[in-house]
């Protein structure tokens, strides 16, 4: 059933619309769940399938790299082929790839299936906003978009707990494999509700930018691969050359995008976004911030499981204070703080997160080798609150000065950079941790590795604060473009 009439909907029409919205939100939550569920199960996967320490990082990176690199391309495919069609195809492939992950007999097969999962997620996630706009208008649209935040907060809370419980329960001997199978019923529910969605596509169908997509994928892979692969061995000359090559490819990508726009083509990235300082600062801020939060939660899990010898259940539950505080602070920021204080709430979030980082450093410094660092739970709650306080005002500030015709490209690029930053954080902080872990007994060495990783995270957060200041100053100096606020994605 397709619902097309926005005016005075009947009760039946109203129910169909919100049932369709539930399917879209489930798909969004499924993506976040997959990332957080696997995060706590990764050390168990490595212990079962074998491989180097870097396998723990690649289980996440193999998913987020193609997801980040192909997000904008996925959005363009929805514009051209139809957002519902691409959404359904991506959900089906995601479910099949999840089954392949659960049945993987080796690390190589698992990582390949994870890459397919990330590619499928890049087809699904960009379609949700357009499909919501196709079904709702006016106040209903605002309520529909406002439901995204609480659902994402709930997924963030449930992910680590669900992953640890499923892995610990070892249902029918499935161990970590159940963490992937949880996607199957969720995807089946989404596909069952897909006929409720209204097909939607762009008025002018953009041509796919295959060279740009290839350059983006190659560049990001070349940057992240040496950071993970080198691990405890440091960065040899070959790794440094690979890193430099990746940066060079990304520069070529930027030049190719500018050249394509001058020739009237449809580039992945709208070049006009980079005319001022605000949006470039937002991209730097997004990469740095999400590198910190993704990297440090990964290090917490690694220290507990590899250094302390805690089970997967204890590691997952240890992240619960972070997730609960994140959800509560996100709600407070969106409902009360940002409407009153605007983008200044970003700095409060950064300050609170830094306080949580310093508290975690103190907890790791005071902890005894082999002993559980109980004060860490309080520090994680503080850090999670800072994460929640930052996210809402950041996306509002980043997109409020974007012109209507730039909104799709800007939102897609911000999302892609967020994913890339998270992958980079897991690579950087994880490598710092593993380097220290290789130097001594696991108990003491893991505490040293955690402290080093959190110190690096604090440095990245200071740099993020500088980028936030540039973004805030640019927002105060320029007027909001006509129509931009209506198209802002939060």
Distance CA 448, CA 436 (A): 6
Is-contact 260 209, C-beta < 8 A? yes
Question: Could you tell me which residues come within 8 angstroms of residue 366 by beta carbon, excluding any fewer than 6 positions away?
Answer: 373, 375
C-alpha separations of 307 from 124, 198, 249, 454 in Å: 37, 51, 38, 16
* Token duo for residue 462: 């200071």
Does the structure show a pLDDT above 60 at 483?
no
Backbone angles phi, psi at 369, to 5 degrees: -55, 125
Weakest-pLDDT range from 73-82, 130-139, 328-337, 397-406: 397-406
- What pLDDT is attached to residue 408? 64
Look at residue 174 and give its three-state secondary structure: coil
- Grade residue 19 by pLDDT with cuts at 50, 70 and 90: confident
- Grade residue 487 by pLDDT with cuts at 50, 70 and 90: very low
Write down the pTM of the prediction: 0.82
pLDDT in tens, 39-55: 788 888 988 998 877 88
Is-contact 364 376, C-beta < 8 A? yes
Does the structure show a pLDDT above 80 at 66?
yes
DSSP 46-70: HHHH---TTHHHHHHHHHHHHHHHH
- Grade residue 478 by pLDDT with cuts at 50, 70 and 90: low
Say how many CA atoms lie within 13 Å of 105 toward its Cβ: 0
- What pLDDT is attached to residue 186? 93
Mean pLDDT computed over 91-112: 95
Return the closest-CA partner of residue 37 out of 174, 151, 156, 150.
156
Looking at residue 147, the DSSP 8-state letter turns out to be T
- Grade residue 6 by pLDDT with cuts at 50, 70 and 90: very low
Distance CA 66, CA 47 (A): 25
Weakest-pLDDT range from 63-77, 153-167, 342-356: 153-167
Mean pLDDT computed over 258-272: 77
Distance CA 116, CA 144 (A): 30
- Grade residue 3 by pLDDT with cuts at 50, 70 and 90: very low
Distance CA 289, CA 284 (A): 9
207 or 50, greater pLDDT: 50
- What pLDDT is attached to residue 142? 66
Distance CA 476, CA 413 (A): 23
476 or 371, greater pLDDT: 371
Does the structure show a pLDDT above 80 at 154?
no
Looking at residue 401, the DSSP 8-state letter turns out to be T
pLDDT in tens, 461-475: 999 999 999 999 987
Does the structure show a pLDDT above 60 at 490?
no
- What pLDDT is attached to residue 291? 93
- What pLDDT is attached to residue 193? 92
Weakest-pLDDT range from 5-9, 40-44, 192-196, 281-285: 5-9
Helix (H) or strand (E) holding 295: helix 278-302
- Grade residue 112 by pLDDT with cuts at 50, 70 and 90: very high
Mean predicted lDDT score pLDDT of the chain: 84
Does the structure show a pLDDT above 60 at 157?
yes
Is-contact 291 460, C-beta < 8 A? yes
Distance CA 252, CA 155 (A): 37
Does the structure show a pLDDT above 80 at 204?
no
Distance CA 490, CA 487 (A): 10
- What pLDDT is attached to residue 231? 56
Mean pLDDT computed over 63-88: 86
Mean pLDDT computed over 380-403: 87
pLDDT in tens, 164-203: 888 888 888 888 998 899 899 999 999 999 998 888 776 6
- What pLDDT is attached to residue 485? 42
Distance CA 352, CA 38 (A): 27
pLDDT in tens, 323-367: 889 888 988 888 889 889 988 999 999 999 999 999 999 999 999
Does the structure show a pLDDT above 60 at 234?
no
Alpha helices per DSSP H over 303-344: 312-318, 320-332, 338-341
Longest alpha-carbon distance in the chain: 69
- What pLDDT is attached to residue 9? 59
């Amino acid at each position: 059933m397709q619902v097309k009439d926005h005016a005075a909907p009947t009760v039946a029409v109203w129910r169909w619309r919100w049932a369709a919205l539930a399917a879209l939100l489930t798909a969004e939550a499924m993506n976040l769940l997959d990332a957080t569920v696997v995060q706590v199960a990764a050390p168990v996967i490595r212990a079962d399938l074998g491989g180097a320490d870097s396998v723990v990082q690649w289980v996440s990176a193999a998913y987020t790299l193609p997801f980040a690199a192909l997000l904008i391309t996925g959005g363009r495919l929805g514009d051209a082929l139809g957002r519902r069609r691409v959404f359904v195809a991506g959900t089906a492939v995601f479910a099949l790839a999840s089954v392949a992950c659960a049945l993987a007999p080796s690390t190589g097969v698992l990582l390949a299936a994870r890459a397919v999962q990330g590619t499928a997620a890049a087809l699904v996630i960009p379609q949700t906003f357009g499909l919501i706009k196709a079904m709702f208008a006016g106040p209903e649209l605002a309520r529909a978009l406002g439901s995204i935040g609480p659902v994402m907060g709930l997924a963030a809370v449930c992910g680590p707990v669900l992953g640890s419980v499923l892995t610990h329960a070892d249902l029918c001997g499935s161990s970590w494999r159940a963490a992937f199978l949880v996607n199957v019923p969720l995807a089946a529910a989404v596909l069952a509700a897909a006929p409720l969605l209204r097909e939607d596509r762009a008025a002018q169908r953009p041509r796919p930018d295959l060279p740009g997509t290839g350059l983006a994928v190659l560049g990001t892979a070349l940057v992240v691969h040496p950071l993970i692969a080198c691990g405890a061995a440091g960065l040899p000359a070959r790794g440094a050359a690979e890193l430099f090559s990746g940066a060079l490819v990304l520069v070529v990508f930027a030049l190719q995008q500018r050249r394509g726009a001058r020739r009237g083509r449809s580039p992945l990235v709208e070049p006009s976004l980079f005319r001022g300082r605000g949006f470039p600062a937002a991209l730097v801020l997004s990469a740095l911030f999400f590198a910190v939060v993704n990297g440090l939660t990964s290090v917490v899990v690694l220290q507990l499981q590899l250094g302390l010898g805690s089970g997967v259940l204890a590691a997952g539950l240890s992240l619960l204070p972070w997730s609960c505080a994140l959800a509560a602070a996100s709600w407070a920021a969106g409902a009360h703080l940002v409407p009153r204080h605007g983008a200044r709430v970003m700095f409060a979030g950064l300050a609170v997160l830094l306080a949580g980082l310093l508290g975690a450093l103190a907890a790791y410094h005071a902890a005894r080798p082999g002993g559980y660092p109980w004060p860490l739970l309080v520090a994680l709650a503080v850090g999670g609150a800072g994460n929640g306080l930052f996210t809402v005002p950041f996306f509002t500030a980043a997109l409020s000065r974007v012109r209507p015709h730039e909104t799709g490209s800007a939102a897609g690029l911000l999302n892609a950079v967020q994913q890339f930053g998270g992958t980079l954080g897991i690579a950087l902080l994880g490598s710092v941790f593993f380097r220290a872990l290789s130097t001594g007994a696991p108990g003491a060495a893991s505490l040293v590795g955690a402290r080093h990783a959190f110190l690096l995270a604090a440095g990245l957060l200071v740099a993020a604060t500088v980028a936030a200041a540039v973004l805030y100053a640019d927002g105060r100096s320029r007027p909001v473009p006509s129509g931009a606020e209506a198209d802002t994605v939060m």
